[in-house]
Structure 1
Amino acid sequence: MLDEVERWLAERSWTAADRPLDALLAAKRAAGAQGTVSVVLPALDEEETVGEIVTAIRRDLMTAEVPLVDELIVVDSGSLDRTAGVAADAGARVVRRDEILPRLPAVPGKGEVLWRSLLVTSGEIICFIDADLREFDSRFVSGIVGPLLTDPGLQLVKAMYDRPLETDGAVVPHGGGRVTELVARPLLNLHWPRLAGFVQPLGGEYAARRTLLERLSFPVGYGVELAMLIDSLGLVGLDALAQVDVGVRHHRHQDGQALGRMAAAIYRTAQQRLSRAHLVRPRLTQFHLTDRGFAPHTHPVDTDERPPMLDIHEYVARHAA
């Protein structure tokens, strides 16, 4: 297994600089309709960063000289701040989560937003970018879309990057990705060792072909990235997966308790895929220190999953048309 991972790393890991923009544009033209690209930003209260990301993508990848991206959509999942207005002012098409597939009530969670985005995008290649990135570089898009345009055998490409931990004004080099290192990486190495070569398995920046995404089920919460890797491995095989180094990722970091909830959802996602067993108590109790001692707070662990989009008749009707 180690030899296979090493081979995959040598053959399916690149840098964004390996595919210059002129080569990508030529490949896009040659691909025709199969080379159409939609970029989706799932967003919840990201007014401080979403505008800069939209502006950079439009400036660098949606001009007449560089028409790499055909569609840029921000899916707002219930923001209470000015996320929707800032994104629209910067030039994105803004769609509210609850307006997509209204017959099915939405539930909270990032995976829910990504799943619903398939209904409002038209590209054959869909690129997901988190909306909380700072110092955003458009290579996050072109770098991961590029291999899908130049290699028809690839189905899913994840971004990899250095991830410093930046909290309270302090910077810990290479210190980000705590849930990845403590939960996701051990799970993958122990149970899905063929995926051990992914540097950022939980990263929110990746691109995939619609024909793959529409066959996947989507955990509604934080387990969506792990599920997508595991399920894609089963559907299309390791050699259809790749990763691209896009530099450094700067973003807002969550506190330890939020990370605990994320870890629980990811563990649950892995367990479902290992055994499909029923959890007797899919909840997580955490503790807050108060002036009266430690107070327990119990949170539900995401257990719902949305079915493959090919099971949704509105989606099938839209794309058949």
Structure 2
Amino acid sequence: MVPFLVRRGCQKVPYLFTKLYAPMISVIIPVLNEGATIRQVIKTIRKTARTIEIIVVDDNSTDNTVEEAMKEKVRVITSSQRGKGISMREGMMAAKHDIIMYVDGDILTYPDNLAELLTDPIVNDEADFTKSYFERQAGRVTQLVAKPLLSILFPELAGFNQPLSGMIAARKSFLQKVHFENDYGVDIGLLIDMHLLQARISEVNIGRLENAMQTWEQLSKMSREVSRTILRKAESIPQQNLETLGNINIIREQMEFSILESIDKLQKMVIFNLDETVFTQNYTYLAAVAFGQEEALCQVLEHYPDPVSILKRSAALFQGRNLAELLEVADEIPVTPDIRHVIRELKRRGYVCGFITDGFECVANHMKNKLGADFAFANRLHLIHSVATGEITIPEYFMPVKGNMPQYDKSHILKYIAEKYHIAPQNVIYVGNGESDTALLRDAGVGVAYHPQFVDAETMADKIIEDICMAPLLDIAQASPQRQGNKWPSKRQVRNIGIGSLAVVATAGLLYLAARQIRKAIRPDDDELPALKPG
């Protein structure tokens, strides 16, 4: 029996030969806890007419993902360490074919011809790398971070509809030359690397997809990692002028602010003074000691009375110090023993939690991520190539205009939050204890003085925590007035709650006493530290 003929170009060739010589595709599916969807994704991918192998790369799932994937008789490998980028790279290394296609394992609405859509441009020698786009509401990270940054740093890529899409295909020879980021930056990083390799790039429409909406915490993390990847990839291009760098900072800030504006949880907020209620010792002083600038810092504090001068001259002491050194100091400072638990519990109850500090934004953001907080308000220490220049920018939320002149006022943050995010001060719990905290303790809905160091701070506060732990704060973190139709407790009620809460803390007697001894051992007496201002 003669095999029937099919047309290839202007010639008719036997179908069996086209099957024999047709390009074969390796389909790689990185997965993490996608047992509920992986089988359906595999079944959809198999509907293609192309010859394919399917490799599921498990990112050390803790559910039944591997078991479910193996039911479909596909190859399953386990990633050497957790992270999508590593899974993608190791899947590529395991692939047997020269055209590689990546798809996510949690989308149930792929078209049946997804393989053809993604790989046709490569099979037809029209492209070396294909990037998908699909019908959906534009992602906030794409619109507010990726596209604006690309328009500045890689304008040739700014026209892509969805530069963060993870459904892609490429020639293996190109994938072997790129770097796979191991976070949310992996997809934009591949696009930029392919561009820098001068690969032919095609964007293809794969229809309409439905996937789970990410939480705003995930969006915030994605924003940071996507922007970091784009900026790192741009290091090979000529140094941008100051205006461009300023625009980049604005773009990154807009994403953070936009996320905060968009979440319903912002009806309730807790702000901690990072320097006074989270750190158990003063960061600026310890950093000065670590870098041999203790005497210089003391002279600054002695000779300059105004906060702005102190901030600027203190920042100058850290010129030449790199980010790793600055963060190492922060990591060495013990924090309030139960602060992670308290923040986690507050967030579970629907509160947005963040830090405020007169210190540096890079340190505040590091502690925010380390302790699971949501935001940080701080002064920006200028870094070039991750090295401090000694200059600092004081943001507008600390510099309100009074009369005709801007003046440093940390308490302005409540008005800023009210105007920017429409959160009334009465829906904010503020936790502080320093001299500059008095106005914030007075004006917030609930002011909590944690180990108050000044009489005014104690007088203005609604609640006082003398305990080493922050657990008593949870007693007043009740549902927001808007949600429950109730009101914040009165100042008298709050004080009573605070006193009663000490009995709860006392039940952990041995732990409490041990923690107190540890604190005494690691924290010098207050009179041994210079009085840092603003504080």
Question: What is the correspondence of 1:41-56 to structure 2 with a 5 Å cutoff?
Answer: 41-56=29-44
Q: Distance in 2 between matches of 1:227 and 1:194?
A: 15
Correspondence 1:37 to 2:25: yes
Q: CA RMSD in A?
A: 3.1
From 134, 148, 151, the equivalent of 2:122 is 148
| Deviation digits for residues 93-114 of structure 1 (CA, Å, limit 9, x no counterpart) | 211112xxxxxxx2x3211111
Aligned with 1:213 (options 175, 185, 188): 175
Identity, % of aligned pairs?
A: 29
Residues 52 and 136 in structure 1, CA contact (< 8 A), matched pair in contact too: no
Q: Which amino acid aligns with 1:154?
A: A
Q: Does 1:191 align with 2:147?
A: no
Deviation at 1:134, TM superposition (A): 2.0
For residues 198 and 208 of structure 2, the distance between their equivalents in structure 1, rounded to whole angstroms, comes to: 29
- Structure 2 residues without counterparts, runs of 5 or longer: 1-6, 9-14, 240-320, 328-342, 356-367, 372-535
User: Are the structure 2 counterparts of residues 299 and 265 from structure 1 closer, same or farther at C-alpha, using a change threshold of 3 Å?
Assistant: farther
Letter in structure 1 aligned against 2:29: L
Query: Taking structure 1 as reference, are residues 69 and 188 closer, same or farther at Cα in structure 2, changes over 3 Å only?
Result: farther
Cα distance change, pair 185–220 in 1 and its aligned pair in 2 (3 A): same
For each residue in 1:9-50, what CA deviation from the matched residue of structure 2 results, as whole angstroms up to 9, or x when unmatched?
A: xxxxxxxxxxxxx98xx8x949948x2210000000111211
Match of 1:122 among 96, 117, 120: 96
Cα displacement (A) at 1:279: 7.6
Give the number of the structure whose residues are more often strand, by fraction: 1
What is the aligned partner in structure 2 of residue 267 from structure 1?
227
1: CA distance between counterparts of 2:353 and 2:207?
41
Give the distance between the partners of 2:123 and 2:198, measured in 1 at CA.
Answer: 17
For 1:153-168, what aligned pairs fall within 5 Å after superposition?
153-163=126-136
- Alpha carbons of 1:198 and 1:299: their partners in 2 closer, same or farther (altered >3 Å)? farther
Out of 175, 197, 200, which is 2:162 matched to?
Answer: 200
Q: Which runs of 4 or more aligned residues in structure 1 lie more than 3 Å from their structure 2 counterparts after TM superposition?
A: 28-33, 276-279, 287-293
Aligned letter for 1:226? I
5+ unaligned residues in a row in structure 1: which ranges?
Answer: 1-21, 99-105, 164-173, 301-321
Once the two structures are TM-superposed, the CA of residue 257 in structure 1 deviates from its matched residue by 0.7
Query: Matches of residues 169-180 of structure 1 in structure 2 within 5 Å?
Result: 174=137, 176-180=138-142
Which residue of the partner structure matches residue 298 of structure 1?
369
- Hey, what's the Cα distance between the residues in 2 that align with 1:279 and 1:40? 39
Question: CA contact under 8 A between 1:31 and 1:149: conserved in structure 2?
Answer: no
Higher relative contact order (CA 8 A, sep 6+): 1
1:242 and 2:230 matched:
no
Which residue identity lines up with residue 41 of structure 2 in the other structure?
I
| 1:75–1:113 Cα contact (<8 Å) kept | yes
8 Å contact kept, 2:131–2:202? yes
Aligned pairs for 1:302-321 (under 5 A) are none
Q: Provide the residue aligned with 1:222 in structure 2.
A: 184
- C-alpha deviation, 1:136, in angstroms: 2.5
3-state secondary structure, aligned to 2:369: strand
Deviation of 1:235 after TM superposition, in Å, equals 0.7
Shift of 1:231: 1.2
Which amino acid in 2 is paired with 1:205? M
Structure-1 separation of matches of 2:203 and 2:354: 42
CA distance in 2, matches of 1:111, 1:84: 19
The code of the aligned residue for 1:185 comes to: K
Q: d(CA) in 2 for partners of 1:233 and 1:146?
A: 20
Q: Is the 8 A contact 1:39 1:69 kept in 2?
A: no
Q: Give me the TM-score of the superposition, normalised by structure 1.
A: 0.69
- Corresponding residue for residue 79 of structure 1: 61
The structure with the largest alpha-carbon Rg is: 2
TM-score, normalised by the number of residues in structure 2:
0.42
Give the corresponding residue for 1:19.
none
Q: Are 2:29 and 2:55, in contact at CA under 8 Å, matched by a contact in 1?
A: yes
CA distance in 1, matches of 2:234, 2:30: 28
Q: Distance in 1 between matches of 2:19 and 2:228?
A: 42
Residues 28 and 92, structure 2, Cα contact 8 Å, conserved in 1? no
- 1:91 corresponds to 2:73: yes
Give me the whole-angstrom Cα distance separating, in 2, the residues matched to 1:193 and 1:293. Answer: 36
**1:134-181 Cα distance to aligned partner (Å, 9 max, x none):** 223233322011111112x51100111112xxxxxxxxxx2x422111
